[in-house]
Structure 1
Amino acid sequence: MHSRRRLGPSTGRGVVASAAVCLALVACSPGTVSIEEHDLSEADRAACEALVADLPDTLAGETRTEVAPDGGPGAAWGDPAYVLTCGVPEPDDYEPTAECSVIAGVGWYVTEDQLTDLSEDATPIALTRTPYVEVRVPADYRTEGIDRALAELAPLLQEHLDEGVPCL
């Protein structure tokens, strides 16, 4: 059975979303976001490159910004930035019995503390698609943009990435 938990606050409207795998990112210079790269197989690297090349110019109303390295496995939108990283490892604290939120057909794993504290950044990881994609969502966007952003990303994740682990 799939959990239908919302990642943002409950608004009474059913928003569906999907996401892409992101890595931990830090800002490097004004307007540029740094994306950490992980060791990937040739097939995973090709899938990530195709996904990143197809990502939109805007996400949840925010404009795409520069990332470093140029051509890296991710993208960023806004300031503070939503940051998507493709090819991240499975989270250390993930257990096969963990619940995830299914948004627009993609299952996102979020730690319980991130679900309950909307004042903190959230880093949902799309475990039902592989290679895994993580999206760092700044606390500024938790009340309005998180579900919208993940929903906008879902069709691209489904198009470019393989099936991952199932969600409970």
Structure 2
Amino acid sequence: MNLFRRRRKCLPALVLLCAAVGCSSADDNASAAVPSPAAKTANLCRNLDAALPSKVDGQGRRDPEPASALTAGWGDPAIILRCGVARPAEMSDTQADSGEVDGVGWLMVKQDDGGYRCTTSLRQAYVEVTLPAALAEDGAAPLIDLAPAIKKAIPEGIAD
């Protein structure tokens, strides 16, 4: 009988613990460092945020933490976009991989984990898209989906 009372006292604590763990593990959003560009670039990035598609490569939008108009994400593992990043050093490398996807130029840098970090070129703001290794086999599909929004919101030119 004494054992039953102990179990009854422990049961509400166990339920409370499970509920707390369930709530905290539901927040599985990716994280991304928020760039801090100049005001002109930040304005372009806010325009891009408003133009971004709800799906990229068939993945629904799931923005990273902390929430910002300068970052966006899709799917899990996440495709992460950051607008207003600094000019990548690799842009000075004449041997760097680059290409054009639907009218948007990209610098493409393979990461140690097999993914890619792609950064727009010849636009008034640098837009960085990180593709996880699991999606790298899809090629340029995410960049194709993002090209219309980038062309609409980020004019051609040289970023400050």
What TM-score do the two structures reach when normalised by structure 2?
Answer: 0.74
Identity of aligned residues (%): 30
C-alpha contact (below 8 Å) 2:64/2:73 kept by paired residues: yes
Q: After TM superposition, list the pairs within 5 Å mapping 1:101-140 onto structure 2.
A: 101-111=99-109, 114=110, 120-140=114-134
User: Which blocks of at least 5 consecutive residues in structure 1 are unaligned?
Assistant: 1-28
Change (3 A) 1:34 1:72: farther
Whole-angstrom distance in 1 between the partners of 2:97 and 2:57: 25
**What CA deviation, in whole Å up to 9, does each residue of 1:16-74 have, x standing for no partner?**
xxxxxxxxxxxxx8422222122312111111011112211111100111322223411
The alignment yields a C-alpha RMSD, in angstroms, of 2.1
Task: Kindly provide the CA deviation profile for residues 107-151 of structure 1, in whole angstroms up to 9, marking residues without a partner as x.
Answer: 11013xx29x8x60100111122210010001111112x411101
- Asked whether the 8 Å contact 2:63–2:71 carries over to 1, the reply is no
Give the equivalent residue in structure 2 for 1:74: 71
Count of residue pairs the alignment pairs up:
132
**Runs of at least 5 residues in structure 2 that lack an aligned partner in the other structure:** 1-25
1:86 to 83, 86, 95: 83
Whether the 8 Å CA contact 1:35–1:68 is kept in 2: the answer is yes
Amino acid at match of 2:137: T
Amino acid in structure 1 at the alignment position of 2:44: A
Higher relative contact order (CA 8 A, sep 6+): 1
More helix by share: 2
Aligned to 1:12: none
What's the counterpart of residue 143 of structure 1?
Answer: 137
Tell me, yes or no, if the aligned pair for 2:82 and 2:128 is still in contact at 8 Å: yes
Q: In the TM superposition, what are the counterparts of 1:45-64 in structure 2 within 5 Å?
A: 45-64=42-61
Which one has the largest radius of gyration? 2
Partner residue, 2:33: 36
CA contact (8 A) 2:53 2:149 kept: no
SS in 2 for 1:150: helix
Structure 1 residues 99 and 32 mapped into 2: Cα distance closer, same or farther (>3 Å)? closer
Q: Which consecutive aligned stretches of 4+ in structure 1 deviate over 4 angstroms post-superposition?
A: none
